[in-house]
Amino acid sequence: MKIKNLADLELFITTAQYGSLSAAARSLEISPAVASAALKRLESELGVLLFVRTTRSLRLTAEGERLLARSQPLINELRDLADELVAGHSLIRGELSLSLPSDLGRNVILPWLDEFQQQHPDLHLRVQLSDRIADVMREPVDVAIRYGQPPDSSQVALPLVTDNRRVLCAAPHYLATHGTPSSPAELSQHNCLCFRVGDALYNRWRFTRDGEVLDIDVRGNRSADDADAVRHWTVSGYGICYRSWLDVGRDVTAGRLSVICPQWQGESLPLNLICPDRRQLSPTIRLLREHLQHRFEAYVLQANTYLYR
C-alpha cells in the first residue's frame, strides 16, 4: 500500500464526485492550494496520473477510474464504521450487573470501574463481590470475571489475562520466625492458609519444575471462602498462602509478602470475562473488556518486572 494519507484518498474521491478540485476543496473546507498539493502527492505515491486537467475541465484517467471504483466503497465503509463507533459510545447507558472476585475485585478492579463510569456517566453499575461461582445463566448477572474456564462450556469466556499463575508466598516476619521452605515438599512443616469454595477445601497444591510435578496436601488452622481474607491473614503473618499472582502481586512489590520457592511454577490461572451467550456481548461489555484489558496489561507488566528482575 503506497497511499500514506487517507485524507488524500478522500480528496481524490470528492474531486471525482464534483468534477472540480476547487469545489472539492470547498466541500472539505481546505484551501485550493492544499487540495492541489494533496492530489499531486497521491499521484506521486501511486506513480500514475489520476486526472486529465484542462483549463475548463477535470476528467478521470483510466487509472483514476479504477482507483475510484475500488477506493470509494472502502472509504464509505470506514465512514460507516466511524459512525457505528460514535453511536456505540453514545449508547453506553442503562444498568450493567457484574460479579467480581472478592480480593481482585475489591482491591484492583473497582478503581478501574470508577474510571470506566467517569467516561460513561449514563451507565449504572451493580457489582457483586464474591468468590462463589456466579451462575450467569440463572442469576441477574450480565457478566462475571472469574479465574479459570467457566463450568458450563456453552458460556463465552473472553480472556482478560492469559498468563497468570498461583504463587506461594508469606509475610517476611512469618518467614523470619518459622523459616523459609526450600521446596514445596517442606510445606507440611508450616501453617498453610487455605481457600474454600462452598464445602470444597482447596488444600492440594500443585507445582512443576523441569517436567517434575509435586502435588502437596497441606494443612493449617485457618481457611476462608473469601480470597481477600486469606490474603489478609497472610500479610498479617499467620501462615503461607498459594494465591493468584494478580491477587498478591501488589503486596509482593510493596514488600508485604515474599515469594517462596520461585523455581517451582504454580498452577496456571487465567482470568476471563464470562458471558452467558455471545449474542449478549453489547457495546458496553465490549468497551468494558477493552478497558480492563488495557489496565491489566500495565498491572501485570509492573508486577512481573518486579518478580523476574
* pLDDT, tens digit, 9 for 90 and up, residues 189-213: 999 999 988 778 999 999 999 989 9
Whether the predicted pLDDT of 70 surpasses 90: no
- The residue with greater pLDDT, 44 or 90, is 44
CA pair distance 86, 77, nearest whole angstrom? 14
Whether the predicted pLDDT of 281 surpasses 80: no
What's the pLDDT at 231? 94
Determine the average pLDDT of the residues in 25-31: 87
CA pair distance 182, 177, nearest whole angstrom? 15
User: Which string of b and e fits 63-83 if b means at least 16 CB within 10 Å?
Assistant: ebeebbeebbeeeeeeeeeee
CB proximity list for 289: less than 8 A, separation 6 or greater? 158, 160, 273
> Hey, how many other C-beta atoms are within 10 angstroms of the C-beta on 257?
25
Whether the predicted pLDDT of 87 surpasses 90: no
CA pair distance 223, 246, nearest whole angstrom? 20
What's the pLDDT at 77? 77
- The residue with greater pLDDT, 39 or 87, is 39
**What cell does 228 get?**
481477600
Determine the average pLDDT of the residues in 57-63: 88
Max CA pair span of the chain: 95
Write the pLDDT tens digit of every residue in 248-269. Answer: 998 998 999 999 999 999 999 9
Side chain identity, residue 123: L
DSSP-derived secondary structure for 70-133: HHHHHHHHHHHHHHHHHHHHHT--EEEEEEE-HHHIIIIIHHHHHHHHHH-TTEEEEEEE-SS-
Whether the predicted pLDDT of 43 surpasses 80: yes
Tell me the three state secondary structure of residue 46.
helix
What's the pLDDT at 241? 97
Q: State what percent of residues in the chain have pLDDT above 90.
A: 47
CB proximity list for 264: less than 8 A, separation 6 or greater? 168, 183, 184, 207, 208, 209, 214
Whether the predicted pLDDT of 306 surpasses 60: no
CA pair distance 253, 303, nearest whole angstrom? 7
Q: State what percent of residues in the chain have pLDDT above 70.
A: 87
Write the pLDDT tens digit of every residue in 128-161. Answer: 888 776 555 556 778 889 888 766 666 788 899 9
What's the pLDDT at 85? 61
What's the pLDDT at 156? 81
Whether the predicted pLDDT of 9 surpasses 90: no
CA pair distance 294, 305, nearest whole angstrom? 17
35 near 24, Cβ under 8 Å? yes
CA pair distance 227, 132, nearest whole angstrom? 10
